[in-house]
Structure formats: C-alpha cells, structure tokens
Amino acid sequence: MDILKHLKNLRNELKKYAYEYYTLDQPSVEDAYYDQLYKELETLEAKHPELSIPADSPTQRVGGVMLDGFKKVVHEIPLYSLADVFNKEEIIAFDKRVQKTLGNAIEYLCELKIDGLSISLKYIDGKLVQAATRGNGTVGENITENVKTIKSVPLMLSEAVTVEIRGEAYMPKNAFTNLNEKRIEEGEEAFANPRNAAAGSLRQLDTKVTANRNLSAFFYNIAQVSNFSVFSQEEVLALLKKWHLKVNQQLRKCHSVEEIWSYIKEVQDMRDSLSYEIDGIVIKVNSFTQQKELGFTVKAPRWAMAYKFPPEKVKTVIKSVEWTIGRTGVVTPTANLQPVKVSGSTVSRATLHNVDYIAAKDFRLNDTVVLYKAGDIIPRVAKVLLKKRPKGSIPLIIPTVCPVCSSKLVHLEEEVALRCINPQCPAQMKTGLIHFVSRDAMNIAGLGLRIIEQLFEKKLVKDVADLYALNIKCLLTLDNIKEKSATNLYQAIQASKVNSLERLLYGLGIRHVGNKIAKILAKHFKNMDGVIKATSAEIAEIDSLGKAVVNSLKSYFAKIEVQELIAKLKNQDINMCYLGSQKQNLVLNNSFFAGKTVVLTGKLTPNRSTVKEKLEKFKAKVTGNVSKKTDLVIAGSDAGSKLAKAKQLGIEIWNEKRLKVEINKD
C-alpha cells in the first residue's frame, strides 16, 4: 500500500465529511464511520513519525498547544462597529437618510446578528495563517491556535486565495448548557451567556480546553473585497460559501421598511428554535457601489445598522426560597416562582445567587419581581416591584445553620457565599460522590444520582472509599437492580481502581482543583504521597498554580478525615500513581495489545466505549469490522455475525474474563 497516497485520501475524505457536518449541517455518513476513519488516520500518523503531518490534517484540531500569552495583531483594514437601533422608528429614520443620499431604489440585505465574538482570519494561498479577535477594531489579539480547533473553520480554503475573512465565533446553545452544568458540578461559576463563554474559550492558554468547548463560527465579510469580482453583500456570502466557509442561510433581501420589519418579526418568532444565540438583525445596503457612495461616519458605516432585540422581561411572584448545599459546601438560594413563560419556556425556579445579592436587591417572600433570561437561557431575577410589595413583609430569613446537617454556616471574608464547612455533611458527601463517579473523574458508568441516593439511604456508603467495599449482594438490595445490573455496576467500580492519579485527585473534589490542575499535579509529583507531602513553596513553583490552589491543597490534606479517607482508598487497592509517565508508556508500548488490531462484539462491561478506551491506552487499534487483518476479537454476551466471521477466519477469540486477566497482567 502506498502509505502517502492512503494518508492523503483519508485526510481528504475526513475533511469532506467534516465540511458536510459542521458547515453544511448535512452529514452524509454515520458518526461511527467518521470516528473509524479518524482513528485510522490517527494511528497511521503515529506509526509513521518520519512522514510530516500537514497543518490542515483533521488530527491537528484537538489542541494541545500551551500558549505563553496572546500577542497583539494590528488589523490592516479595521473591523468597524455598527450603529444600534432599537425600534421601528429608528429603522424608518435610517432608511430616510439612505434614500436622501442615493435618491433611488434601495435593496437591503438582512442577516442574523450572531451573539458571539468577532474574529478575523487571514489565509495565504488558501492556508489559514492567522486568526485574531476584533479587539478595539484596530488592534486585536492573536488566537490562531485556538481558532484552529473550531471544526467549522477550514484550515485550507477550497481555492488557493490570499484573503482576510471576517466572521463571528459562537458557542451553540447545547454546548453552552453542557459547559455550565459541568462548571457548576465542579464548583465553578457558570458563564452568564454563550457570548461570554465563547470569548473565554477563545482566550484559553491551553488549546485543548478550547477544543473541548465545541465552538462554531459564521462568516459574512471579506476585508479586501475589491480584490475579487463581487459587487454586493449577497455575492460576498456566495463566494465565502464557495470557499467552504460557513455562511448563515437565514437572510432576506428587502426593499422597504415594512419588509424589513416583517422579517424581524419572523426571526423573533423562530429565535428560540435556533441552535445558536442571536441578539438582533444586521441591515446592510446590498450594493457595494451604493455603500461606497454612502461612506462612513467617524465610528460606523452609513450603509448598515444593527437592530437589537429588546430582552423579554416578565413579572412573577417569589413563593418560597430553598437553600441547597453543593459539593464544596456552598449554600445556594433558589427562588420558587409562580410559573411564567419567558423567552419560549415556562420558568418556575431561578437562582438568587448568594446572601449579598439578596441583601442588595432586598428580595422578600411574596414579592412581585421582574424575571428575564440572561443570554436568553439562564433565568435571572432582576429587581423587586416595590409598589406591589405586600404590607408587613419582612426581609428573608438567612439560615445560620446547614439545612441538611445543622452545622453552623460561615460567611468567609473573601467570599460572597455562605458555606457549610462540615466535611461529613450528607449533602456534600452525596454531591461529592456524584462528582467522584463522573466521566472526567473516576468514570464509573451506571452509578447515577438515583443509585447513589439509595446507597446513602440504606447506609451502604458514607464516603467515596465505601464504594469499593460494595459487593454484588449489597447492590442487589437496591430498587430495580437485578443480577446483571449489579454485576455490571460492581465490575465498573472495580475497573476504576486502575485509573491514573489525576482522575482520583479531580474526583476528590478539592476546591480549585479542576481536571486540568489535577493532571498538572499528578504529572509533577507522580504519586499521591508526593502531592500530600509537597510544601507550599514546591506547589507554588509549578507554572499556572496560584495561591488559591496552594492554600486549598494544604488545608484539604491537613484534615484528619481526609488522611483517613486516603488510607481507606489505599487499603482498597486504588491506584495512587500517575500513569502518563515515560515508564508507564514503555509498559503500554510493550503490552500484549500494542500494535494489534482488535474488534469488540456483543455486550461488554461496563460498555464498549470504555473497553475500547482501555485497549487503546495499551496501544491497540480497535476497529469495527472483522477481516483477515484482525488479530483478536473480544466477544461479550449476545455476540453475532462478527463472532461467526472471526471463527470462520480462524481469528483468536477472547471472552471478558480472559481480557481482564491480560489487562491486569500488563
């Protein structure tokens, strides 16, 4: 096989499928097939280090570059801002000004105003060489490595043109929701809206973080438009699309204010159904000849404006306030509201943030309040309508003891939140357990909230170490858990014992220690004892670890109950070492599975994806189809045609028990 030709074909095929999926929203193949090709490319590139990997290879989008900072970029052609308007009367006034200057029929092109971050991309001979933020319009920041992780941004255009493109990077609604859920679970503050989340993601010094944020982008302008044979905004969008750049298709040509206003109302009606946030409509004179005649003011073009949607605000009533305890002990007040519809959905609950916010706004029971959705997603209580306040109302009673364990709450000087500092608080322990078993932590599949709550109620666990003392008999006492489910859960718990140290550190829920910092600590200190015994000075010497992390680690491991917990985990044979070291990689590279082509079939424990991930750690190539090139088939229960084909071809077949023995041996 001509490996160079095969690699080129693989890359081109993957680029085609990615373009169809991320730019056209018209995938032509199943995700599993794309993943299979991607894995093949990744494996081949790793096997042939002598062959340089082109910068536009699909495998180069995963990040991995650690940036020192963001250098300034001077925009040769400034990124202008648009004048904002907020009602129909201002649109009429804009149209009159345009008509007065041009004195003939005007064609406007109306486009959605994407609520994201303006970016400028520079391509030389079709290759992406620079990406920058808008900044102040004249000077921005170089964010090239981060933008390369956005799958809808082509690393190579379909034509070898030299051009500067303007667009908007954004975070889709589902990606924003998932990100905030994860941040809240980790005790971090949620992003207020997708725009802030997108901006924060593009300014990460670790490009892997950006890659995991699932950003996207739309493009709408060419900086040096005179270099190309296009004569209107509509033609620019067609040219961008031809170059395989993602262009928003929700646009409308209009010839009067009434047509513009009709389009605005249509967009407002469909706004909630869009997969991304918009905050208005951009209205441009379509003809470039007419744009040139209209010119610019000092701040903005005279031929364009942005109509901004007003935030939808509704009235509702605070019926009660709940105080809940999070994983880190933070006490969060949540208002139970009289249900009301706002921005497309019915809202009955909204956070009141913390006691300082409650005091500043003076929220009380039965107050009529103004509610809106921040970024049209997160319900927020804006203010009290004092004229509607019932007579005799009194300020909210702020709890002084934990609503779960009755320990005294503290209001630390450097914090706005109340906090329960009792490490044995059942609420903290329960949410801590949920965090411990989560995907980025110990990744124990099947252990969800419902099962963890039962384990607590039945007093089968009180801390994370108790999970490893569970046996199948204990698990069978839980509701709706049968023999097979209990076996799967038990095996998933046991399998997590061999996780690398960073997963354990992150799973312990140490304040200020997210999965990135956990990995840094594990890699630096190699084992748990090294982390525990490290002095404040030794921790502070590590780049990117600030005072908050140092203080949090030292105070956490100084607690007697934490020391007892670590001892319990050690007694349960939980791995306490970092497995990404050179020594471990040497072991993995020389494992039984290294370089072998393996096929999984049937039902496996806890699931196929987990088994696949484990085998790939041992340098196996896991494929989806059995062929003469297959070295090994792992067959679970209910295996079908793949097992039959393996027998026909005389390929070695293992069951899960044999697999487990071999993995533990390695």
Segment 493-516 shows an average pLDDT of 89
What is the CATH architecture of 501-571? Orthogonal Bundle (1.10)
What fold characterizes domain 426-498? DNA polymerase; domain 1 (1.10.150)
Contact present, 245 and 161 (Cβ < 8 Å): no
Return the amino acid letter for 246: K
CA dihedral (625, 631, 636, 642) positive or negative: positive
Segment 253-258 shows an average pLDDT of 96
Rounded to the nearest 5°, which phi and psi values hold at 612?
-60, -45
* pLDDT tier, 450 (very low <50, low <70, confident <90, very high otherwise): confident
- In this prediction, residue 582 carries a pLDDT of 47
CA–CA dist 125, 156 (Å, integer): 9
Contact present, 141 and 205 (Cβ < 8 Å): no
- Catalytic option among 39, 71, 113, 596: 113
Q: Start-end ranges of CATH 3.40.50.10190 in the chain?
A: 582-665
Q: Which residue has the tokens 């305890």?
A: 325
Q: Start-end ranges of CATH 1.10.150.20 in the chain?
A: 426-498, 501-571
CATH superfamily of 314-400: Nucleic acid-binding proteins (2.40.50.140)
Indicate if the pLDDT at residue 488 is higher than 90. Answer: no
In sequence order, which ranges of 464-559 are alpha helices (DSSP H)?
Answer: 472-475, 483-495, 501-507, 515-525, 528-533, 536-540, 547-558
Give the residue with greater pLDDT, 124 vs 43: 124
Which one, of 82, 86, 111, 166, lies nearest residue 282 by Cα? Answer: 111
Instruction: Give the largest CA-CA distance in the chain.
Output: 86
Give the residue with greater pLDDT, 588 vs 210: 210
Contact present, 432 and 422 (Cβ < 8 Å): no
The residues that bridge with 652 in the sheet, in sequence order, are 632
CATH superfamily of 3-61: Helix hairpin bin (1.10.287.610)
Q: Which structure tokens are listed for 536?
A: 């404040």
Indicate if the pLDDT at residue 111 is higher than 90. Answer: yes
| SS percent in the chain: helix, strand, coil, step 5 | 40, 20, 40
Segment 583-597 shows an average pLDDT of 64
DSSP-derived secondary structure letter, 469? G
CA–CA dist 599, 639 (Å, integer): 12
- In this prediction, residue 608 carries a pLDDT of 79
Give the residue with greater pLDDT, 619 vs 150: 150
- In this prediction, residue 276 carries a pLDDT of 94
CA–CA dist 374, 449 (Å, integer): 28
Q: How many CA atoms lie within 13 A of 495 on its CB side?
A: 25
| Residue 372: strand, helix, or coil | strand
- In this prediction, residue 583 carries a pLDDT of 44
| Residue 105: strand, helix, or coil | coil
CA–CA dist 622, 190 (Å, integer): 37
Give the residue with greater pLDDT, 417 vs 211: 211
* pLDDT tier, 260 (very low <50, low <70, confident <90, very high otherwise): very high
Return the amino acid letter for 458: K
Q: How many CA atoms lie within 13 A of 527 on its CB side?
A: 7
Q: Which CATH number fits domain 84-308: 3.30.470.30, 1.10.10.1590, 3.40.50.450, 1.10.730.10?
A: 3.30.470.30
Q: Which structure tokens are listed for 143?
A: 């964010």
Q: How many CA atoms lie within 13 A of 123 on its CB side?
A: 26
Lowest mean pLDDT among 313-317, 333-337, 431-435, 540-544: 540-544
Cβ neighbour number for residue 631 with a 10 Å cutoff:
14
| Residue 188: strand, helix, or coil | coil
Indicate if the pLDDT at residue 25 is higher than 80. Answer: no
Cβ neighbour number for residue 614 with a 10 Å cutoff:
16
Segment 259-286 shows an average pLDDT of 93
The residues that bridge with 418 in the sheet, in sequence order, are 331
Cβ neighbour number for residue 382 with a 10 Å cutoff:
13
What is the chain's Cα-based Rg?
Answer: 29
Segment 200-216 shows an average pLDDT of 89
Q: Start-end ranges of CATH 2.40.50.140 in the chain?
A: 314-400
| Residue 661: strand, helix, or coil | helix
Q: Which residue has the tokens 């992406």?
A: 128
Give 52: exposed, middle or buried? Use CB within 10 Å, 0-12, 13-18, 19+: exposed
Give the mean pLDDT of the chain.
87
Total-model pTM: 0.56
Lowest mean pLDDT among 348-357, 395-404, 541-550: 541-550
The residues that bridge with 121 in the sheet, in sequence order, are 131, 165
Q: Which CATH number fits domain 582-665: 2.60.40.10, 3.40.50.10190, 3.40.50.300, 3.40.50.20?
A: 3.40.50.10190
- In this prediction, residue 586 carries a pLDDT of 47
Helix and strand numbers, DSSP H then E, in the chain:
25, 22
DSSP-derived secondary structure letter, 613? H
Rounded to the nearest 5°, which phi and psi values hold at 554?
-65, -40
Which one, of 516, 579, 580, lies nearest residue 542 by Cα? Answer: 516
Contact present, 655 and 635 (Cβ < 8 Å): yes
What percent of the chain lies above the pLDDT cut of 70?
A: 94
Which one, of 444, 354, 359, lies nearest residue 395 by Cα? Answer: 359
Annotation marks residue 113 as catalytic: yes
> In this structure, are strands 368-374 and 278-285 parallel, antiparallel, or unpaired?
unpaired
Q: Angle at the Cα of 251 (from 175 to 157), degrees rounded to 5? A: 65
Q: Start-end ranges of CATH 3.30.470.30 in the chain?
A: 84-308
